[in-house]
Structure 1
Amino acid sequence: MSMNLAHYDLGQIIRHRRYEYRGVIFGVDPCFSLDEQWYESMAVTRPPRDCPWYHVLVDGTDRTTYVAERNLAPCEDHQQIRHPKLGECFNRFDGDRYYIRATTQ
């Protein structure tokens, strides 16, 4: 039984284990939250749905991805991420991680 505790944090730079891209986490779901059709067509390795899933800005592209925790690893390369939506999500980079932009209501 999963406790759904995320191992990675908002603003953390990660690496995808299979596809080797770098990215930064901008959202975390305690378990899979998209629909069955998405899971069947996109989650080719069939990762568990009851573990954390992450929303990731992919470095050097304008893409975002939704990735199961088991497919991520910490990234040794802490160079800044290049993504057009970076400033919408984060307001600061300290050389190690990004800090999420506060939302106003």
Structure 2
Amino acid sequence: MTETESKARVAKFHIGQVVKHRIFPFRGVIFDIDPVFNNTEEWWLSIPAEVRPRKDQPFYHLYAENAETEYVAYVSEQNLLADTSPEPIRHPQVREMFVRIEGGAYRPRDLRVN
């Protein structure tokens, strides 16, 4: 086990949960979780140093949206909050991958092929 892996924490959020960014005006549904940073160094360095997240925390892949568009986002745990809005997520891939459940969260669709 590497030093980074030993520092990895249990994820605070889960797949299918609706979250919002702590600073920027977007929200989304989590579709994958990395226990620690797993993107390029170039991507990480492109974030301004004053808001650059630590690498030793979970990072979340989101089907995200803002007022103008839908996209895929990669966000550190420290920059996410649970979203309690009753509004469904409009990102088209959410309907392909998830079913909305009571409380506004989503569960993965049964994607098994017979």
The alignment's TM-score, normalised by the length of structure 2, stands at 0.80
Aligned amino acid, residue 65 of structure 2 = D
Counterparts of 1:1-105 in structure 2 under 5 Å?
2-41=7-46, 43-44=47-48, 45-59=51-65, 61-104=69-112
Q: As a proportion of its length, which structure holds more helix?
A: 2
| Rg (Cα) greater in structure | 2
8 Å Cα contact 1:30/1:53 also seen in 2: yes
Q: Provide the aligned length of Structure 1 versus Structure 2.
A: 104
The one-letter amino acid of 1:87's match is R
CA contact (8 A) 1:59 1:81 kept: yes
Give the fraction of aligned pairs with identical amino acids, expressed as a percent.
Answer: 37
* Runs (5+) with no aligned partner, structure 1: none
Aligned alpha-carbon RMSD (Å): 1.8
The residue matched to 2:92 in structure 1 has which SS? coil
Q: Is the 8 A contact 1:79 1:95 kept in 2?
A: no
Q: Given the two structures, how large is their TM-score scaled by the length of structure 1?
A: 0.86
